[in-house]
């Protein structure tokens, strides 16, 4: 039973009791003073009304307090990264790279031959003569790319030699130097350079570009050492996106006791070396 129903029931009960008390002869009828009856009803009405007001106001206060808590949660500012630490710089780069890649980014990838040494003896001289072929192969793979190279989401402080950030108020420039990475025939996609810039999946990818030459490295030694790998990007503080950047490394290729076939001539490479410069610019 609600408070309002209870009040109506109580009032009706009082009236019945009054009528019962007034039973008997007509000339003995007793009349309650009008003022006292009115005051009693008004007093009870005010008391009940006050109680109802108190009860109805309490949920309203609870709702207001809840709304205030929600508003405070929505306006809370995200925790700022500490750019004085390697971890802070790396996390800012990862956040910016993710935002930029989602929005769309196009960059220019350029690969160039820095040096080529065919190795010892007559065979070395023959291989060195294929330098123009190597340069053309690299030029053919210098193209425009989309997205950001490397598994940047896996980049961690253990991959990094040094990391610094310079904030001028409008933009923040990050410079990250990566540790060297050495691979064999198959590229290690979990290395520091693979995380920061990207590496070859396999040496086969590169050797296949040397048209006119076939290789057999099943019993030889293949080593690819990635050095001088750096990430240098500028981030817009307002959007958190990369506005310009350069990702680079040198890959030092060493081939020893590798079979090579040039036309009808089969030879074995001894201590052949080459250096390829790899650079992505946005």
**Distance set, CA 155 to CA 94, 231, 239, 273 (Å):** 8, 12, 22, 30
Instruction: Note the pLDDT tens digit of each residue in 117-148.
Output: 877 766 677 667 777 877 887 888 789 999 99
- For the chain, the straight-line distance linking the first and the last C-alpha, in angstroms and rounded, comes to 75
Q: Model pTM?
A: 0.69
What distance separates the 2 farthest-apart alpha carbons in the chain? 148
Those residues whose C-beta lies under 8 Å from the C-beta of residue 52, and which sit 6 or more positions away, are: 3, 4
CA nearest 7: which of 56, 69, 50, 66?
50
Least confident stretch, 89-98, 109-118, 190-199, 220-229: 109-118
Q: Which residue has the tokens 């950047």?
A: 245
CA nearest 71: which of 79, 60, 81, 63?
63
pLDDT of residue 15: 44
pLDDT of residue 149: 94
Instruction: Note the pLDDT tens digit of each residue in 8-28.
Output: 444 443 343 334 334 444 444
**Judging by DSSP bridges, how do beta strands 171-178 and 160-167 pair with one another?**
antiparallel
| Burial class of residue 222 in the structure, from the number of CB atoms within 10 Å of its CB (0-12 exposed, 13-18 middle, 19+ buried) | buried
Strand partners, 234: 173, 244
Mean pLDDT over 166-170 rounds to 97
Question: CA 223 to CA 180: how far, in whole Å?
Answer: 13
Instruction: Note the pLDDT tens digit of each residue in 208-259.
Output: 766 777 888 888 999 999 999 999 999 999 999 999 999 999 999 998 998 8
Instruction: Kindly provide the b/e burial profile for residues 22-47, where b requires at least 16 CB atoms within 10 angstroms of the residue's own CB.
Output: eeeeeeeeeeeeeeeeeeeeeeeeee
pLDDT of residue 191: 97
DSSP secondary structure, 81-133, as one string? P-TTSHHHHHHHHHHHHHHHHHH--EEEEEEEEEEEE--SHHHHHHHHTTHHH
């Amino acid at each position: 039973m609600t408070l309002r129903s209870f009040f109506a029931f109580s009032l009706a009960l009082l009236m019945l009791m009054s009528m019962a008390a007034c039973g008997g002869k007509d000339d003995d009828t007793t009349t309650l003073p009008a003022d006292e009856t009115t005051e009693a009803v008004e007093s009870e009405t005010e008391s009940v009304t006050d109680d109802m007001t108190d009860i109805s106001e309490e949920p309203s206060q609870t709702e207001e307090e809840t709304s205030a808590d929600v508003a405070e949660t929505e306006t809370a500012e995200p925790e700022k990264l500490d750019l004085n630490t390697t971890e802070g710089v790396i996390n800012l780069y990862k956040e910016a790279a993710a935002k930029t890649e989602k929005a769309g980014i196009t960059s220019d990838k350029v690969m160039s031959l820095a040096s080529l040494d065919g190795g010892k003896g007559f065979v070395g001289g023959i291989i060195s003569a294929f330098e123009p072929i190597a340069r053309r192969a690299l030029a053919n793979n210098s193209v425009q790319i989309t997205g950001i190279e490397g598994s940047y989401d896996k980049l961690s402080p253990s991959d990094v030699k040094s990391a610094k950030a310079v904030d001028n108020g409008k933009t923040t420039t990050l410079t990250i130097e990566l540790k060297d990475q050495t691979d064999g025939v198959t590229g290690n996609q979990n290395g520091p350079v693979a995380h920061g810039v990207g590496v070859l999946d396999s040496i086969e990818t590169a050797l296949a570009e040397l048209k006119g030459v076939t290789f057999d490295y099943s019993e030889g030694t293949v080593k690819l050492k990635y050095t001088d790998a750096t990430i240098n990007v500028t981030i817009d503080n307002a959007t958190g996106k990369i506005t310009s950047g350069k990702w680079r490394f040198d890959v030092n290729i060493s081939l020893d006791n590798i079979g090579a076939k040039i036309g009808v001539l089969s030879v074995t490479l001894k201590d052949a070396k080459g250096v390829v410069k790899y650079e992505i610019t946005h």
